[in-house]
Amino acid sequence: MRIGVIGSGALGLFYGGLLQRAGHDVHFLLRRDYQAITSSGLKVTSPRGDFHLQQVKGYRNNTEIGPVDLVLIGLKAYANQSLIELVRPLVADETTILTLQNGLGNEELLATAFTAKQIVGGVAFLCCNRGEPGTVHHLDQGSIRIAEFAQKPGNRLEALCKTFNQADIPCTTGTDLTRIRWEKLVWNIPFNGLCALTGLPTNQLLSCPETRQLITEIMQEVIAAANRQGLSEAIDATAIIEPML
Query: What are the pLDDT digits (tens) for 192-210?
Result: 999 999 999 999 999 999 9
For range 221-234, the mean pLDDT = 95
Helix axes 237-244 and 209-226, enclosed angle (nearest 10)? 140
Has residue 153 got a pLDDT over 90?
A: no
- Domain boundaries along the sequence of the chain: 2-175, 180-244
Q: What is the pLDDT of residue 152?
A: 85
Report the alpha-carbon distance of residue 169 to residue 46 in Å, rounded: 13
% of the chain exceeding 70 in pLDDT: 100
Concerning whether 57 is annotated as a catalytic residue, the answer is no
- Residue 80 dihedral angles phi and psi, to the nearest 5°: -65, -15
Burial of 177 (0-12, 13-18, 19+ CB in 10 A): buried
Q: Catalytic one among 43, 57, 117, 184? A: 184
Q: What integer best gives the mean pLDDT of the chain?
A: 97
For range 54-74, the mean pLDDT = 98
For range 138-147, the mean pLDDT = 97
- On whether the CB atoms of residues 79 and 49 are closer than 8 A, the answer is no
- Homologous superfamily in CATH for domain 2-175: NAD(P)-binding Rossmann-like Domain (3.40.50.720)
